[in-house]
Amino acid sequence: MSGYTELTSIEMVRDFINNHQKSFIYISRQNCSVCHVVWPKVQELLDEYPQIHVGKVDADQVKQVAGEFLVFTVPAMLLLVNGKELIRENRFVRMEDLKNQLDQITQ
């Protein structure tokens, strides 16, 4: 993947969303094995969408993120366009379904 931004505060998360038309937020926890398995697959998929800016948040470090985005399980993946949430996936995500959703939004 060309890159992502590590978001280390709730202010950084808000600024990231406000400063990018299309932002994808990946919320995980340090001891979440599913998070560590899904993340490389998400990175590989998002390589196909250079117009989407990717931010990664550790919910253990940025505790407010769970409350602000109503995240009850991780990993949580949010696609926001102009600050509005259009896609939300949690825990076990089918990459093909996520790709189809991204295709519809980015075309």
* pLDDT one-digit tens code per residue, 12-64: 999 999 999 999 999 999 999 999 999 999 999 999 999 999 999 999 999 99
Average pLDDT of the residues in 80-95:
93
Question: Which pLDDT band holds residue 107 (cuts at 50, 70, 90)?
Answer: confident
Tell me: pLDDT of 6 over 70.
yes
What are the residues facing 57 on neighbouring strands?
7, 27
What's the length of the chain? 107
- Contacts with 58 (C-beta within 8 Å, 6 or more apart), sequence order: 8, 28, 29, 30
Question: Which pLDDT band holds residue 1 (cuts at 50, 70, 90)?
Answer: very low
Tokens 């969303």 map to which residue?
A: 17
Specify whether the CB–CB gap between 69 and 14 falls below 8 A: no
Question: Helices 95-106 and 33-46 sit at what angle, rounded to 10 degrees?
Answer: 40
Task: Please state the separation of Cα 26 from the chain's center in Å.
Answer: 3
